[in-house]
Structure 1
Amino acid sequence: MSQSNLTSFFRPKRKDTDEGEMSDNVAPTVAAKNHDTDGESEQASCSSNMINPIGKKQKLAQTFSTKWRINRPWLKYVPNEGMYCTYCQKQPHSRSTAWRKTPSVRIRLQNVKEHEETAEHRDSVKAEMAATQSQNVAKLLTNPENISEDGMVQAFKCLYFLCKNNIAHTTNFPKLLELEKLLGIDIKQKISKGNNAKYTSNTAIRDMLQSVSDVIETEILDDIKNSDAYALMFDETTDVSVVEQMVIHGRYINSTGDVSVKYLKVLDALELQSTDMNELDDCFISLNADAVSQKITDYIESNGLPYEKLRGIGTDGAAVMTGRLNGAVKQIIDRQCEKQKDTNDPHKLVALAIGQHCAAHKLNLAAKQAGTNFPVIQKFKRVVKSLHAFYSRSAVRTKGLTAVQNLLKDSLEIESDSKSGSGKVKNPAETRWLALGECATKLKGIVGSVSVSLEREAEERGDAGAAGLVNLMTRFDFLATLCLMCEVLPTINRLSLQFQVSHINFSTVSTSLAATIAILKAKKEVDLTGTISGLEAQGIKIKTKLTIPEEVANFRIKTQAPFIDAIIDNIEARFQNSEFLASFSKIFNPQSYGTSKVQPDEMCSHAAKLCEQFGLPKDTAINEMKDFIFYVQAAGDINLSQSDFLTKLTIKSDSNVYCATFPSLCKLAHIYKVLPPHTSDCERDFSQMKLIKTDIRNRMGEDTLDYLLRINIAGPPIEQFPFGKAVKLWSEKKDRRYKVRLV
């Protein structure tokens, strides 16, 4: 073998898998395996900045790999020239021309890494990052890809409209946007960016809904915290999903000195507080006083409501709420006392709330229980329920009754509204406060047609039930009781409606009660002869043993007068003022300050008692009361009604002399106004809940129900809602890919 052959035989062979020499089509796994070793091992003696001489062509040392560009956006390769650094090229004042004006022809990974470590390259990277950041800021301000505030406001208005009108928002929000598009208002295009940022998903809609609700809730909670006094009202019910829901309402003095009543929260009263079965306590499984009080105190403390300003707690009067020793109200007041105590100051004044039983509930109980001792009234209720069941369970019977009404034309109401079914017998449901009175009034107007309809059913169809009912309802006792109910119950119903007004206070309750009792006493002597005789004009054959006047006289003695007396006694027994309400009524009744009636020592005693209960300095109040008596007399306010007098004391104005001169007594006046006389607002919430959480929406979550109730009950009209604030809150809740351009 010749010398040349030996040289070629022992010459090191070129490795195909060498990182620095492999071509672009080399398998990625092989390239990755030799990523850092092979490229560094070959030709270490070559200059890292080998430059082509001018006018001479030089063969490139190695082959460029596109994988070197990974995490190196600055690396640029020009075939047959070499490698450049685009970051260094942007720096005109760089001292070196390598990689900037003249390419690097040493096509090796090690050469690229060496350039990365140079100071000039690092300075170029920093300059590039600073320039990019400035461009991003400018892009956020002018980027057409961002969402306009106008588009989001319009989308929020559509969502608010759906929620306000109890329309399923999740399924109908995208459809409403499509309808707007057909009408020429393409809201969807304004808020949609790309293929995956359309803001019509369930999650996006829920975020919008929460933002709207949070705006309303924040404003209400801020008003309560800044108020001079507030009270809480709560009640519970079972929804369509058989979930025990507790609704909380707040009653507080607003910035003008008036009373505001607002929805606060709905809570799952039986929600488990622990997932560990060994840690579950009975109070979280049954709706007892512990569970109720825990829910309320958790809400107060989690929202930062001041215990020292809590003045009243309104409930429906159930034993679990008002128990004297361990009721929910008692436990809440104990917690209130505990939170205000200061170990460093044992003489610190502590404000305590007082519990109140709903006046509307008490009135309903007084009227309902008054009839329990009168068999004729109990029998009347059973007959009316049987009449309602007889017609409500058969469309044929109901249609027959309507036909009879059209023929007889019992009244103008039935004649004009018979097609709507207004002539039906109503259900005297005991759970509804006004049901029996409304039922009696309606039945009196159609009793003739009902009698004829029952006779027809008995004769033509042989219906024994109809025959029995017509026999019962044509007796004198039934008809006399019907007329008595129509005389008495509308008066009770009018008083109940007054008690259900949101902003009513105890001064109005006392006045309305006194007037109603006077009216009831007068009705004891009402002669029902004419009323009962008028029923004969409707074709009823009244069955009596004596003449109608004689029957009426006996009925007045045995039933009419005793029944009304029982109602009055029950009302007076249930509406006895507590010692605190009695003191309030005495102090803030201007007639108490008449020259001949006023007793300064008694007035001072009432003021001291109230100050001690509500954590106010009683010495200051007593001193104010001594001058207050003469001021009321001198101002000529003794002839005002109690309600007007309270308004004069609590109005917030620089010209209100009472507030400036008698601040402690005016604070007591605010407390008197804020005490909740009823929980009717909670009952209205239950009605609204049935419209929102229906059978087809029975899987609605607790938070969503809370948002929708707050928007429906406490949300202002759509033209008054601050949608810009809601959009801003929604935009800031999370770091969104597309920002809202807030104007």
Structure 2
Amino acid sequence: MAKRQRLLTDFLIKLSVVSSPTPNNEAGTKVEEPGTQTQTNAVRLKDAGVQQNRTPQVKWLSQWHWLYYEDDGMFCRICKETNKKNPFTGKSGCQNYKTSTSTRHVVSKEHQNAIQELKLKSNFQQASVNAAASLSQEESDKFKAAVSMYRTVYWLAKENIATFKYPSLLNFLRLQGCESLNHLQQGRNATYESHITAEEIQDAIAAVLMDDLKKKIERTPFFSVLCDETTDISVEKKLVIYLKLLNTETFSQETHYLDNSVIPDAIYCTWDALVVYFESRNASTDPKAKGILKNIITYDFVATMYLLMDVIPVLTQLSMVFQKQELDLALVQPAVNHAVAEIKRLKEEDGPHMQQLSQCLIPAENGKVKLQGHVLSHCTEAKERHFKAQIRELFCEEIIKNLRVRFPDESSNVITMFSVLGMRPLSFVDDKEAWGNDKIDLLIDLYGKEVQLDDDTKVAPIIDADETRREWALVKDLVLQEAYPREKLATLWKLLHSYHREMFPNLLTLASIALVLPVQTADCERGFSVQNNTKTASRNRLSSDRLNKLCTISINGPPVENFEFDRAVGVWRWKLYGSPKKMKKKKMKKEKKKRMTPPMKILEQLF
């Protein structure tokens, strides 16, 4: 017994030397000498008559990497991470500080299972990372394929090519080496190559374009509505509506449509050939040819044809003024007045073509008259006077009346008021201080006073009267001093908006209204051309909704290289699958399950 106590005392002495320092020692407190500690331990053991508990050794930490000490207890990091239940995972840990205890734990079944679970978990996490990387690449390829698909549909709409050509065009692009399209197919049946898919894509693109247009309308201070009626190839009446708005960033008006005008002079150029043709048909006793020939060789028909060749160029010139995309308001009233004056002149005297007719009429036998070798019927001096006094005069009067109805004095006065903002004649007037004040006062009366509507609603003025007059006096001097160009009202006020925005807020408001005034419907006419190019004889079964989507893309859509296809892809996916985030989670989960082996599925449920 004494020998055992002596051996135990020697062991405690060695243990006190090699054991790790206590927190008090680390804090710098005084440590007892080894001899003193040995005597104390020996006394305690001797007094208690029992063996003292062991303490953990530092070398065990390097021997077993899973081991760590905490609060006077030994813990297993692996078993604790895998939620095993044993002395090394308890609340106070294992306090049996023996080498054999740790050795038994290493070979225990629970510890070995914990190690295997950790390895499987690590492999599962790595597999998940690899799957995610693979899935990310796959998603990227699919997105590129979707953009290529959208770009194809967009191009078809911009070029007015039938949608049913979409599958054929996809196959052609594949033959040309567009490898991104190979990722379109999903499973066996979902190839996204049908015309139905193309129509869904058109809906998504049109939705993006309409969303952009709505944002522009919300930002613009003023806009106007242009309406016109047309009939498409299937004899269906359409009311075409367009918006003319102001881009607040560039201070410019935006329009999107094109048109071509052709002068109807076919009969005038081919009259001789028509007469020869119908004379030959008349010889074969064709009653229709005989009736047409009888009408086209009369003096009234020929004189009306020559009169139209004088009148139509005047009206065409006026029409071309209104077909300009950026119409200068200063040109409206002069152009209308010039057209009216020209029609009045043609009413009183012969135009160039009527003079040519008089020179080309050659007397023939028996008092008859020939034109280009053909005898005219009912061609006498009395008939000529009757035509000029009755037909020509009434025809020109009706044209002048229609022009006055189309451009009444009230609206012309409003246009004239706004034309003062162009300041075109400012350099040539003597009294620059007084110039334009009367028209500015009229504009102030329209927009600088409170207006009460029929339902007693009061509309506040949109400009300040006194400030507008002060700004007008200042802007005239500024424009002359800076030598700003005044050929176009839009160009002038774009410069003033860019460099002097704070100086002229009220005048800029008036200029904004002037730029969006609906003085013509040429934009609608250009829209008819787009409609007719889209709904052709071979596509006459296009529904109104589909035609509207195609026209939206063709007219409002930017060039193919400038359109944001990712937004359209997002709209399309949202309609098909719901929220993009929810759709991504579903796809990720589905792909993840495909790649998982049965043990991994079990581990996913565990962790």
State the aligned residue count.
454
Alpha-carbon separation, structure 2, partners of 1:603 and 1:201 = 60
Number of the residue aligned with 1:584 = 417
The Cα of 1:138 is off from its aligned counterpart by 5.8
Aligned pair 1:444/2:268, yes or no? yes
Number of the residue aligned with 2:84 = 94
Alpha-carbon separation, structure 1, partners of 2:191 and 2:478 = 70
| Range that drifts further, 242-251 or 155-164 | 242-251
Number of the residue aligned with 1:111 = none
Number of the residue aligned with 1:142 = 134
Aligned pair 1:250/2:243, yes or no? yes
C-alpha contact (below 8 Å) 1:230/1:253 kept by paired residues: yes
What letter is aligned with 2:349? E
SS of 2:274's equivalent?
A: helix
Number of the residue aligned with 2:184 = 191
Which of 620, 627, 633 lines up with 2:464 in the alignment?
Answer: 620
The Cα of 1:640 is off from its aligned counterpart by 9.8
Which of 454, 469, 493 lines up with 1:649 in the alignment?
Answer: 493
Number of the residue aligned with 1:208 = 201
Alpha-carbon separation, structure 1, partners of 2:168 and 2:260 = 41
Mapping of 1:197-596 within 5 angstroms?
A: 197-237=190-230, 245-254=238-247, 255-262=249-256, 438=264, 441-459=265-283, 461-504=284-327, 506-523=329-346, 524-526=348-350, 528-534=354-360, 538-546=372-380, 552=384, 555-578=387-410, 581=414, 584-585=417-418, 587-588=420-421, 590=423, 594-596=429-431
Alpha-carbon separation, structure 2, partners of 1:643 and 1:610 = 26
The Cα of 1:541 is off from its aligned counterpart by 1.8
Q: Point out where structure 2 has 5 or more consecutive residues left out of the alignment.
A: 1-77, 88-112, 362-369, 452-458, 578-582, 589-607
| Range that drifts further, 707-716 or 564-573 | 564-573
Alpha-carbon separation, structure 1, partners of 2:271 and 2:152 = 49
The Cα of 1:529 is off from its aligned counterpart by 3.7
User: Structure 2 vs 1, CA of residues 662 and 541 (structure 1 numbering), >3 Å: closer, same or farther?
Assistant: same
Alpha-carbon separation, structure 1, partners of 2:126 and 2:518 = 59
Alpha-carbon separation, structure 1, partners of 2:122 and 2:210 = 43
C-alpha contact (below 8 Å) 1:235/1:246 kept by paired residues: yes
Partner deviation per Cα, 1:367-395 (whole Å, 9 max, x = no partner): xxxxxxxxxxxxxxxxxxxxxxxxxxxxx
Alpha-carbon separation, structure 1, partners of 2:376 and 2:518 = 48
Alpha-carbon separation, structure 1, partners of 2:186 and 2:436 = 76
Greater fraction of residues in helix? 2
User: Structure 2 vs 1, CA of residues 238 and 702 (structure 1 numbering), >3 Å: closer, same or farther?
Assistant: same
User: Structure 2 vs 1, CA of residues 583 and 660 (structure 1 numbering), >3 Å: closer, same or farther?
Assistant: farther
What letter is aligned with 1:480? A
User: Structure 2 vs 1, CA of residues 242 and 567 (structure 1 numbering), >3 Å: closer, same or farther?
Assistant: closer
C-alpha contact (below 8 Å) 2:447/2:461 kept by paired residues: no
Alpha-carbon separation, structure 2, partners of 1:680 and 1:599 = 30
What letter is aligned with 1:621? A
User: Structure 2 vs 1, CA of residues 90 and 157 (structure 1 numbering), >3 Å: closer, same or farther?
Assistant: farther
C-alpha contact (below 8 Å) 1:207/1:730 kept by paired residues: yes
Q: Point out where structure 1 has 5 or more consecutive residues left out of the alignment.
A: 1-87, 98-120, 264-431
SS of 1:247's equivalent?
A: strand
User: Structure 2 vs 1, CA of residues 582 and 156 (structure 1 numbering), >3 Å: closer, same or farther?
Assistant: closer
What letter is aligned with 1:534? C
Partner deviation per Cα, 1:468-522 (whole Å, 9 max, x = no partner): 3323222222211110011111221232233233433544322321232233334
Aligned pair 1:706/2:561, yes or no? no
Alpha-carbon separation, structure 2, partners of 1:641 and 1:564 = 39
Alpha-carbon separation, structure 2, partners of 1:203 and 1:708 = 14
Alpha-carbon separation, structure 1, partners of 2:462 and 2:177 = 68
C-alpha contact (below 8 Å) 2:148/2:181 kept by paired residues: no
User: Structure 2 vs 1, CA of residues 529 and 502 (structure 1 numbering), >3 Å: closer, same or farther?
Assistant: closer
User: Structure 2 vs 1, CA of residues 225 and 141 (structure 1 numbering), >3 Å: closer, same or farther?
Assistant: farther
SS of 1:233's equivalent?
A: strand
Alpha-carbon separation, structure 2, partners of 1:209 and 1:519 = 49
Alpha-carbon separation, structure 2, partners of 1:471 and 1:565 = 28
Number of the residue aligned with 2:510 = 668
C-alpha contact (below 8 Å) 1:234/1:247 kept by paired residues: yes
SS of 1:588's equivalent?
A: helix
Same amino acid, percent of matched pairs: 23
Number of the residue aligned with 1:158 = 152
User: Structure 2 vs 1, CA of residues 261 and 600 (structure 1 numbering), >3 Å: closer, same or farther?
Assistant: closer
What letter is aligned with 2:162? A
Which of 157, 171, 175 lines up with 2:168 in the alignment?
Answer: 175
The Cα of 1:575 is off from its aligned counterpart by 0.9
User: Structure 2 vs 1, CA of residues 141 and 514 (structure 1 numbering), >3 Å: closer, same or farther?
Assistant: farther
Alpha-carbon separation, structure 2, partners of 1:601 and 1:167 = 54
Alpha-carbon separation, structure 2, partners of 1:236 and 1:130 = 71
C-alpha contact (below 8 Å) 2:166/2:195 kept by paired residues: no
User: Structure 2 vs 1, CA of residues 133 and 687 (structure 1 numbering), >3 Å: closer, same or farther?
Assistant: farther
User: Structure 2 vs 1, CA of residues 245 and 147 (structure 1 numbering), >3 Å: closer, same or farther?
Assistant: farther
SS of 1:661's equivalent?
A: coil
Which of 562, 578, 598 lines up with 1:720 in the alignment?
Answer: 562
User: Structure 2 vs 1, CA of residues 232 and 210 (structure 1 numbering), >3 Å: closer, same or farther?
Assistant: same
The Cα of 1:671 is off from its aligned counterpart by 0.5
The Cα of 1:609 is off from its aligned counterpart by 1.9
TM-score, normalising length from structure 1? 0.52
C-alpha contact (below 8 Å) 1:177/1:187 kept by paired residues: no
User: Structure 2 vs 1, CA of residues 557 and 509 (structure 1 numbering), >3 Å: closer, same or farther?
Assistant: same
User: Structure 2 vs 1, CA of residues 485 and 600 (structure 1 numbering), >3 Å: closer, same or farther?
Assistant: closer
SS of 1:248's equivalent?
A: strand
User: Structure 2 vs 1, CA of residues 137 and 494 (structure 1 numbering), >3 Å: closer, same or farther?
Assistant: farther
Number of the residue aligned with 1:337 = none
C-alpha contact (below 8 Å) 1:505/1:675 kept by paired residues: no
Alpha-carbon separation, structure 1, partners of 2:548 and 2:379 = 61
C-alpha contact (below 8 Å) 2:146/2:569 kept by paired residues: yes
User: Structure 2 vs 1, CA of residues 466 and 227 (structure 1 numbering), >3 Å: closer, same or farther?
Assistant: same
Number of the residue aligned with 1:414 = none
C-alpha contact (below 8 Å) 1:230/1:250 kept by paired residues: yes
Aligned pair 1:603/2:440, yes or no? yes
Partner deviation per Cα, 1:410-442 (whole Å, 9 max, x = no partner): xxxxxxxxxxxxxxxxxxxxxx9988x60xx21
User: Structure 2 vs 1, CA of residues 563 and 705 (structure 1 numbering), >3 Å: closer, same or farther?
Assistant: closer
SS of 1:719's equivalent?
A: helix
The Cα of 1:229 is off from its aligned counterpart by 1.7
Aligned pair 1:629/2:466, yes or no? no
Alpha-carbon separation, structure 1, partners of 2:449 and 2:122 = 67
User: Structure 2 vs 1, CA of residues 498 and 95 (structure 1 numbering), >3 Å: closer, same or farther?
Assistant: same
SS of 1:688's equivalent?
A: helix
Partner deviation per Cα, 1:238-281 (whole Å, 9 max, x = no partner): 65677664433111111211110258xxxxxxxxxxxxxxxxxx
